Amino acid sequence: MGFTMSEKIMAMASANDGINVHADDIIWVRISKAMMDDVLGPRLEIDDILTDLNASIWDKDRVVIISDHYTPPANVNQADIVKFTRDWANTHQVDHYYEFAGPCHQVMVEKGHVLPGEIIVGTDSHTCTYGALAALGTGVGSTEMAGVLATGITWMKVPRTIKAQWHGDLNAMVMAKDISLKTISVLGHAGATYKTIEYCGETIDSLIMDERLCLSNMAVEAGAKAGLIRYDAITAAYLEKFGVTETFEHINPDEDANYETVLSFDAQELVPQVACPHEVDNVKAVSDVSHVAIHQAYIGSCTGGRYNDLLAAATLLEGKTIAKGIRLLVSPASKEVYDRCLKEGILTILADAGATILASSCGACLGIHSGTLASGEVCISTTNRNFLGRMGSKSSEVYLASPLTVAASAVTGYITDPNAISGGIND
């Protein structure tokens, strides 16, 4: 019997130095990188625990701290948290500190902090994003993080794996977000709890890295520990800019690996999807909810604010104007994405269509600043969560969709299938 990606990666990182490990084994693993954000990072128990233990950071070069949720701060409390985080990084000589760089997961990948085969823990549930680069990223709580900071190791149960294979070419106006929502609708929001989802098949093989990152990012919305995509030429090309020449085929799954479940999807049957309030697995075809009027459309976050997302939206919106009374907010997923889109005129196209361009931040995604929803308002968003009150008032509603669907909806003021908008990217 062969091995899944999780089994291979965890065997390499295991304290027993590469002996075989199997799903359900509980093992000690060496951590390659530890990422902390400003919400659950140093400001919580971490500082106290390290002080109590009289411990210092096991390897400062492997620690990355990113202030992203509370930047730019909306009030004194948020400003104080960012200040604490910045000062802590300084005092503990953590050089990999970022602020105003964008949501942590995009920053991690685009600054070269993620390599295939690594085990990366982060104080944020969407740390599973790194699975797009064939790294086993997973979220941990602050107490667990304190242990990792002190020792560089942690214990984990080796996850069982669900293989989600997608075959065939995607239809026009269908994106990775639609693949993700469809898969989660089948699994259910807890269907992959403590499991790995391995996305594979020729549909996934042909996705560019921005799209793969969206897919892995959302794995935790089915409860998954990790959302892995095999290492291939697209991964290698992405890593080239960081000077990575090593190859990582050895962490790809064996043909005869032991999967708990195998799901098979036909990409040709996939139409634009939307997750309706208030669960990510409450998924319908966009055309089934086209009567729903919106107040706000949001393109941003570590899920749907990457270069390709803004490009897709701009291509659809070029020469068009958003509906009267609708707010279209765009927060590029990082400063790097912002700068590239600025340079290439993508932000101008979006702004000309009526979009307001915001700083690269988590703000609106979790309703803490820069786009918070009022009572009774409806938002369609490229983000990853539509829980009750997620983006603001408890009486607001969030629909999750691809950037193309969000852009199309901004044009009409109703949830709209991008295929219904002329001048779309495949015209």
Ligand X SMILES: CC(C)[C@H](C(=O)O)[C@@H](O)C(=O)O
Binding residues for [4Fe-4S] cluster: 302, 362, 365
Residue 274, contacted partner among ligand X, ligand SF4, none, CB below 5-8 A by kind: none
Which of 384, 386, 405, 419: binder of ligand SF4 (CB under 6 A)? 384
Coil, strand or helix at 347: helix
**332 vs 367 by CB, closer to ligand X:** 367
> 132, exposed or middle or buried, with CB in 10 Å at 0-12, 13-18, 19+?
buried
Residue 216, contacted partner among ligand SF4, ligand X, none, CB below 5-8 A by kind: none
Residues numbered 395-424 forming contacts with ligand X, rule: CB under 6 A: none
Is the peptide bond prior to 189 cis by the omega test (within 30 degrees of 0)? no
E-assigned strands of 311-400?
327-331, 355-357, 378-381, 397-400
CA–CA–CA angle 408, 412, 416 (5° rounding): 50
DSSP state letters, 268-318: GG---EEEPTT-TT-EEEGGGGTT-B-SEEEEEHHHH-SHHHHHHHHHHHT
Which of 29, 133, 366, 421: binder of ligand X (CB under 6 A)? 366
**4 vs 384 by CB, closer to ligand X:** 384
Shortest distance (Å) from residue 100 CB to ligand X: 17
Whether 180 and 268 have beta carbons less than 8 Å apart is answered as: no
Whether 109 and 213 have beta carbons less than 8 Å apart is answered as: yes
Provide the token pair at 330: 């765009």
40: contact with ligand X by CB under 6 A: yes
Residue nearest ligand X (C-beta atom): 125
**14 vs 384 by CB, closer to ligand SF4:** 384
Amino acid at 181: L
Shortest distance (Å) from residue 233 CB to ligand SF4: 28
Shortest distance (Å) from residue 332 CB to ligand SF4: 11
419: contact with ligand SF4 by CB under 6 A: no
Residue 286, contacted partner among ligand SF4, ligand X, none, CB below 5-8 A by kind: none
Q: Which stretch binds ligand X (CB under 6 A): 56-64, 119-127, 271-279, 411-419?
A: 119-127
| Cα(253)–Cα(177) distance, integer angstroms | 24
- What is the torsional sign of CA 245, 250, 254, 255? positive
Instruction: Kindly list the distances between the CA atom of residue 122 and the CA atoms of 76, 194, 278, in Å, as whole numbers in the listed order.
Output: 26, 16, 26
Contact mark string toward ligand SF4, 336..375, x via CB under 6 A:
--------------------------x--xx---------
Coil, strand or helix at 121: strand
Which of 72, 86, 125, 372: binder of ligand X (CB under 6 A)? 125
Q: Which stretch binds ligand X (CB under 6 A): 21-29, 121-129, 283-291, 311-319?
A: 121-129
Residue 408, contacted partner among ligand SF4, ligand X, none, CB below 5-8 A by kind: none
180: contact with ligand SF4 by CB under 6 A: no
Which of 118, 124, 210, 211: binder of ligand SF4 (CB under 6 A)? 124
Provide the token pair at 90: 């300084």
End-to-end CA distance of the chain, in Å?
48
Shortest distance (Å) from residue 28 CB to ligand SF4: 28
Could you give the strand order of the β-sheet that contains 97-99, starting from the edge strand earlier in sequence?
97-99, 63-67, 33-37, 119-122, 136-139
Residue 151, contacted partner among ligand SF4, ligand X, none, CB below 5-8 A by kind: none
Instruction: Kindly list the distances between the CA atom of residue 389 and the CA atoms of 259, 277, 308, in Å, as whole numbers in the listed order.
Output: 36, 10, 28
Residue 301, contacted partner among ligand SF4, ligand X, none, CB below 5-8 A by kind: ligand SF4
From the list 25, 403, 12, the residue with the least C-alpha distance to 177 is 403
Residue 40, contacted partner among ligand X, ligand SF4, none, CB below 5-8 A by kind: ligand X
Residue 187, contacted partner among ligand SF4, ligand X, none, CB below 5-8 A by kind: none
* Residue 193 burial (CB count, 10 A): 14
Q: Which stretch binds ligand X (CB under 6 A): 84-92, 118-126, 255-263, 304-312?
A: 118-126
Residues numbered 77-106 forming contacts with ligand SF4, rule: CB under 6 A: 103-104
**299: β partners:** 330
Contact mark string toward ligand SF4, 268..297, x via CB under 6 A:
------------------------------
Instruction: Count residues near ligand SF4 (CB under 6 A).
Output: 12
Whether 157 and 150 have beta carbons less than 8 Å apart is answered as: no
φ/ψ of 176, rounded to 5, equals -60, -35
- Binding residues for ligand SF4, rule: CB under 6 A, are 69, 103-104, 124, 126, 301-302, 362, 365-366, 383-384
- Binding residues for ligand X, rule: CB under 6 A, are 39-40, 69, 124-126, 139, 366, 385
